[in-house]
Structure 1
Amino acid sequence: MPLQNPDKIEKIGGFFKKVSATNREYIEYWTHETLFKWDFWLSWSFALIPWALWFRFRKKDSTGRLLLGGFMALIISSWFDFIGVEYGLWYYTGLAIPTIPSYVPWDFCLIPVMIMFFMQVKPDSSPLLKAVLFAGISAFAGEALFQWLGFYQPLHWRSWWSFFIYILLYGVCHRITRLRTFEKL
């Protein structure tokens, strides 16, 4: 006998059955309308090309620090994106992976790679200036491009709100890469 209230378990189970049924219906739709179509291939291009470019042009002696900042960006951006989708603030079409509600090429590839490039170019220049530039490109050019492509559909969201979040995101990632607590294991 579980410690949790059986009525609560049953009620929550009902919610998850509805979510699961909707997910199955969406995957069926995605399989017929997105898989191997132009938006699928473009999404995968957005996912793979940034990493290939980063691997080729990264500052090799700073790879670990850059990856730490990039992975922090990946974690934070995908978490915020997931919350935004789940709360109905926006949604995506042309998903590369139908079982993840956030847009993987943006959260896992474009955002972290762009942050890593910004951090390695002119590393001694103002991080605030870089954060504002990164935020402006991401919020006003990137989101507009993805909206024009039809991949990103904001419902209850404004690009200005993204702008300030991107500034904070860059600041956190920049700070993480500047930690002086690294020592050999």
Structure 2
Amino acid sequence: MTVSTAILDRDGVVNHDSEAFIKSPSEWQPIPGSLEAIARLKHAGLRVVVASNQSGLGRGLFDYDDLFAIHDKMTRQLSELGVALDGIFFCPHTADDACACRKPRPGLVEDILRRWNLKPLDCVMIGDSATDIEAARAAGVTGFGVRTGKPIDPSDPRWRDTRIFDDLSSTVDHLLAARSRA
């Protein structure tokens, strides 16, 4: 596997998710080992990008200042580990908006591919929901699932042929091992 870029969903992959949405920096809490996993990807030379649906914006549950403060907290904690994300992409729309960027549509992933002139085979996407995997597939990118977010039902046909790991850290273990064998 010669992957150069890891695209990560945020809520449920990097940080604990909430049915009530993550609306403030105090609510944003990293999943144990997730920030260290991002650091391992960066130290291995991979580009790491977050791609996240943030419909709380469209619902009026928080505003852009709140979202940017959450992202600032995440990036500060990563900087304490000596790394930085290469980008943070988000969709502010609700499902009713029928936009191209809200996962499961591939708009966010396709934007990432365009911005770095990447081929789908250059990337993997790691998500906690079927919509993440569907967006990855629609863009031609391999998707991996994690069990740290939304409940994954292995009998759901949308997960067919998708590797599912316990968390981001174990997914990164797999990616880096596959990369070293390539």
Q: TM class, shorter-chain normalised?
A: under 0.3
Give the structure-1-normalised TM-score: 0.24
Structure number with the higher strand fraction is: 2
Q: What TM-score does the superposition give when structure 2 sets the normalisation length?
A: 0.24
Larger Rg: 1
